[in-house]
Structure formats: C-alpha cells, structure tokens
Structure 1
Amino acid sequence: MNFKFNIDSKIFEDYYNADYFQKTKEILDIYKPNQKVTMQWFQRKENTVVCGISLICEILKQSGAKDLDIKGLSDGDVVMPNEPVLKITGKYSQFAHFEGLFDGILARASTIATNAYNLKKAANGKSILNMNDRADAYVNQQIDGYASIVGGINNLVTYASFEYTQTKPYLQGTMPHALIASFDGDLIKAAQAYKDTFRDNNLVVLVDYNNDCINDSLLVANHFKDKLFAVRVDTSMALVDKSLQGLTEQENELHGVNPTLIKKLRLALDEKGHNNVKIIVSSGFDENKIKWFEKENTPVDVYGVGEAIVKNKISFTGDLVRIDGKNQAKVGRGNISSSRIKSIKYI
C-alpha cells in the first residue's frame, strides 16, 4: 500500500526537535558548513518489523534537504539486533536537527508494526480489530494506523488512523457499554437504536453488560435473527460470567473472557440455529492470550486488541559513524556494513 503523509509544518520550525540538535546544526553551519557525514540507525531486539522509513524520507523531501544519499530497508522488513535499517550521508547541517525526531519515528512505528505482526501471527490468520485509540494519546493515531497496517492489521476504528493510507476508511465499530447504560441496561432497545441509526453497518452487539453473555447473546440473536452479524464479549478479569459460576477453577482461568466461556457461547448459539453469528472477543488480549485461545481451538472470529498494540517498546539509536569519508564514531557504535539496505530516492 502506498502512503501519503501529511507532515505537520511545525516539524520544520523545530517545534518537535530537541534543542541540542538544533544548536548542533547552528554550530556546524558556522564551523563545518561543508562537512559530510554518515549517520546510521539500528536497534537491539530480535525480529523487529521496521517501520517509519517512508515517513522519514517524506520529511527530508519537504525539508528541502538536497544531495543526501539515503540507504535503508523498506517498511515491513524484519531485522535483527544491531542491523542497520537506515543510513544518511550528506551535510550534517541539513538533517542534524531531525536526529531525535527520526529516532522517535522509527521507535514508535516499529513498535506498533512489530506488535501488530506478532498479534496477527498468533491469531492464525483470524481478524484482529485494532482498538488502540483507547490505549494511548490521540496524537499518535495517524502514525499508529500506518504502522498497524505495515504490521498486517488493517481493521482500525478511527478516521485519523487511516489518514496516511489514501483510502476511504470503512469503520464498522461495535457499541460501547455507555450506549446500553443510556437505555437503562435494555440490550434490545440499545441494539435497535444502533441498527436504526446506522442501517448500513453490520449489527454487532456487546453482550457482557449484565455478566450473562450466553443468555444475552441468545436474547439478541432470537430478536434480530439474521440481522445480527456478531456478538462481542468484553468481560472484565475481575468477573466470572454467570454461566460459569458453578464451575471450579484453579488459576483464574474462568475469569474474564476465556476459552470455556466462548466455547459454551458458540455451542449455545449453534444449538438455537444461530450458526452465522460471529463471536468477537476483547478485554486484555495480547499475543500470549491469543495463543492460549488458539491452542484451545476457541471458536473466535475476531480478536479486539488495545493496549498490547503499544507494549514492548523498541528503541532506535542514530549515530554518526563516518566524517568526510573516514570512520569516526563513539566507541561501540561504529559503522556496520549491511548487504540488505538499498538506495532510496527521496526527491
């Protein structure tokens, strides 16, 4: 997919750039105006999905920087520790003030892309709904949406998340608990209001409001019949669903959304002829919880994931490694050769 990045003009006014990098740029403009350097970026974690290269190239393009030689990997490539992902050669004064900004772009985007990739892999090809909007600040939604898609998850829930994709977002969200509460806990009235208001949306009903997922799922399935697309189970880990409260557990495996509950729900729906109703699960899902559900052959159609999209932070480091064609670097941060990085045309 081709991305079109809308760059905040304040980037070029040093609004987001660390002061000491800006000061370095001003010093070099005076004392080393023609000095050419090579800067490289790398990270230290296994199997990292690189993301942010395209955005960095667009920033350099719009900055007016000229005659830079850029070599890098492509967004979506998987790298190992200490493997260069990007090298920029040219007058340092043209990009010195972006050093920290580029560290952050690679860190944020690669973290999201790597998590998305691992979650998708754990789900064995099943759909994942990226609900990260509730897990972090709204200002990250554009870059997070871009990185999520690079990592393999393209089911997003906000318009901002699609900003870089050049595609018209098609949002098919479910209802929040607040909507049910607004109808005095009446699930049918809340679902009917949703259906009548958004007639072109699939009807997906949240069924854990009363902590009675199976009975409430059957209630809405019997009422809406073939108009019901899916039910979503979002039970808190602090609770055990009413249908499981007679069972014995050893390690909280019956709390929250769990395989036993979902298997029982699928069986109940099928027995009443609602085989086509899909099951969406959310609440605390990460890579390990999805693997648990898949190992148990749990009949899930869609996993909703929020906080896990932003966990396991991956940090990148940018270092000067060559000055005017000669090796020059901090000890332990020398120039690393790579046969994988390729020339990138940025203008």
Structure 2
Amino acid sequence: MKQVKSLKDIEGISNIDREIHSATHDDILKGLTTDVYFLRTLDILESMKLEDSIVTAEIFARKPGIFAGIEEVKAMLKGKDIEVWAVDEGESFEPKDTLIRIKGPYSEFGVFETAMLGSLASASGWATASKEVKEACDGKPFLCFGARHVHPAVAPVMERAAVIGGANGVSCVLAGSMIGIDPTGTLPHAAMLIAGDTLDVAKAYNEVSPEDHKRIVLVDTFKDEVEESIRIAKELGDKLYAIRLDTPSERGGVTPNLVREVRSKLDINGFENVKIFVSGGLKPEKIKLLSEAGADSFGVGSYISGASAIDMTMDIKEVNGQPVAKRGRIPGMIENKKLKKIF
C-alpha cells in the first residue's frame, strides 16, 4: 500500500484484525496514523488546485522542556520534496520556540502532522522528566525502569528519550539494542520468591555472572534490609557491587533513615565498598533526600514513563512566500538560532 493522500486511499481498510493493537512502522510511514481530517483537507485542496501550494510550517511547544523525537520525524519526511530545519535532540526549549521548520508543497507532508506532533510530544515529555531526575541525582547515576508502565510498542521510544534526558542506562532489551548500549538492571523479587531465600539466589547469581558484571542484590524480600545486606555482603565479599533497596509502600517504602542505617551497618562491618541502589516510586524530591542519606544510584520508572506529553502545535506561517497566521498568532516565521538544516 502506498502513502495515503486522499480519503479514497483508506477505503476498504476497516476491520483490521491484529493480536497486538499498535501501529506498525509501515502504518506510520504510510500515513495511516493521521487524523482523517488531514486527508479530507488534501481532497479539498486538490479540488481547488491548491494542494501543491508552497508553505512554510513551524512546530512549537506550549511549555518548556527537552527536545526529543526528531529521528522519527526525519523518517516520516525522508525523501520528500521539502526542506527541513530542527533543533538538536537534548536541547532545552521554551514555550513557543520554533523546534522544527518545514518548507515545501503541503501535499508532501501535511498528512504527517498528527504523527509528527505525537512523536515529539511523547518523547519530549519523557526526556524532560528524565532531565528533572538527572538534576535531582546531582551527578549520581540512575537507570530507567519504566518499560513496565507503558505499552510495549512504545517502551523503546520512552527509554531512548530517557537516555536523551540524562538516564545512564535502560532495562528494556530492545531499547538498549536500538540505542547501542547494553541493557542493565538488577534482579526481581520473583527470583527470591521462587528460590525461597535471598542468600541462595545471591550465591547462584554470583556463580553464573561474568567476572566483570556488577552484582546488585535485592535485600527486602524476606528479612530486615540491614540483616539481609550484611548476610549478602559477607557471602559475596568483594564480588558484591551494591545492595538494592526497594521496600514496598505497604512497609513505608525506602526512607532516608533506612538508607542511613544500611550505610552505617555496612561500614561498621567493613563493607564500605558496597554501594546502595534505591528504587520504588522515586520522584526528584525523594531522590534528593535519599541521596543526602547515602544512596549511590537509583532506578526510576513511573516518574519518567508516566510523564505528561508536552503539547506540540504545527502552524503554517507562510503560503507561497506570503506571511500568514490564524487569529492570535504572529504571521511569518519565528526565528530560533538553535535551528539547523537537516535536509
């Protein structure tokens, strides 16, 4: 099926039956995730012989953030008879800053407005949340553990955006592969619950792991976190990189006092080298408190994955060289020194 440009192009595609209810790459690149009114617009413009009017369109955000998602937009626009400028991924932006400028026949790119805005809005929202986490960590590393909170089709998109925002690693296998880094993480409670004892799992974990693997053991499944930390540290010795605190909310979650106690007891017993990795519903404010208490690194999930999309808008600013705008907006192009021509 070719790229859709008319309502006629979508006749007969109803009742698509899929086991996984998400758009494929082909669906997106063919324009099938557009809002139907853009196809109606193209039909109307064609009837008026205006579909190939040369327009300049600009995309801006409605609140500040970190820019992400341009690579997918480039894939949608690749090979079109247009010129495109954009700011770099990872750049900060303010409300109404021009983030992307597109110039060319409207029929070349108009159908992709929905998909472009959605890609940018979601990715920029996730990247912005990740940047807030990075600032709270104040130089200490954190991993993105958010894949379980979003649809699997977009988990790699979310975790890639998290890395753009500042995450030091991701847990999703596909995300790591796409980014070009090894996925990383610790162990789930499932291992301990199935085995029945954290120490037994720690021993097996140590035996099956490569020499250079950083062994991080979860210590809140069965016993007091301090007691379990000392047990594991005595067994693994220098092989233990860190213990992980993920105390559930039913027991008050991970608190600064718990982190201080674990740190103190580890040090007293000669395990100053063992680091403390913390996870479990972390937000920037709590990260700061736990960091001050002695936490060394963090696993952050829902704060990033659940971040609100940053609304994006595309306005046509020129038609055949003449400045235009809807009421309330400024006609003509809005300059941004961060824009770079990408094709």
Scaled by the length of structure 1, what TM-score is found? 0.86
CA displacement at 1:213 relative to structure 2: 0.5
Q: Does 1:105 align with 2:119?
A: yes
User: Which whole-Å CA distance do the structure 1 matches of 2:29 and 2:248 have between them?
Assistant: 45
Give 1:49's aligned residue: 66
Quote how far apart the aligned CAs of 1:211 are.
5.3
| Residue 266 in structure 1 maps to residue 277 in structure 2 | no
Aligned residues: 316
Deviations 1:203-231 (A, max 9, x none): 21111112510001111111111121111
Q: 1:305 aligns with which of 286, 296, 300?
A: 300
Q: Which amino acid aligns with 2:257?
A: T
Q: Deviations over 1:269-304 (max 9, x none)?
A: 01111111111000110112112334xx22111111
The correspondence for 1:32, drawn from 33, 44, 50, is 50
Q: Contact 1:29–1:93 (CA<8 Å) still a contact in 2?
A: no
Q: Is the 8 A contact 2:147 2:159 kept in 1?
A: no
CA distance in structure 2 between the partners assigned to 1:212 and 1:291 by the alignment: 24
Residue in structure 1 matched with residue 186 of structure 2 by the alignment: 174
Q: Which amino acid aligns with 2:54?
A: K
CA distance in 1: counterparts of 2:70 and 2:32, whole angstroms: 21
CA distance in 2, matches of 1:147, 1:258: 29
Which sections of structure 1, spanning at least 5 residues, go unmatched? 1-6, 240-254
Task: Give the aligned partner of residue 4 of structure 1.
Answer: none
Return the alpha-carbon distance in structure 1 between the equivalents of residues 50 and 95 of structure 2.
33
Quick check: 28-37 or 101-110, which moved more?
28-37
State the Cα distance separating 1:313 from its structure 2 match: 3.0
CA distance in 2, matches of 1:182, 1:172: 22
After TM superposition, the structure 1 = structure 2 runs for residues 50-69 of structure 1, keeping only pairs within 5 Å, are 50-61=67-78, 64-66=79-81, 68-69=82-83
- Work out which of the residue numbers 286, 291, 308 in structure 2 matches 1:289: 286
Measure how far apart 1:87 and its partner are.
Answer: 1.3
Is the Cα–Cα contact under 8 Å of residues 41 and 84 in structure 1 kept in the other structure? yes
Alignment of 1:16 with 2:13, yes or no, is: no
| Alpha-carbon distance in 1 for matches of 2:51, 2:268 | 77
Counterparts in 2 of 1:188-207, with a 5 A limit?
Answer: 188-200=199-211, 201-207=213-219
User: CA offsets per residue over residues 167-218 of structure 1, 9 Å max, x none?
Assistant: 2x3233211011101012x111122222333335322111111251000111
- Compare 91-100 and 322-331 and name the one that shifted more: 322-331
Q: Structure 1 residue 29: deviation in Å?
A: 4.1
- Within-5 A mapping of 1:138-177: 138-165=152-179, 167=180, 169-177=181-189
Classify the secondary structure of the residue corresponding to 2:178.
coil
User: C-alpha distance in 1, partners of 2:34/2:71?
Assistant: 19
Displacement of 1:136 = 1.1
Q: Match of 1:257?
A: 254
The corresponding residue for 2:327 is 331
Distance (whole Å) between structure 2 residues aligned to residue 13 and residue 80 of structure 1 = 32
What is the RMSD computed on CA atoms of the aligned residues?
A: 1.8
Please tell me whether the aligned partners of residues 235 and 257 of structure 1 are also in contact (alpha carbons under 8 angstroms). Answer: yes
Conservation of the 8 A alpha-carbon contact between 2:142 and 2:299: yes
- % identical aligned pairs: 30
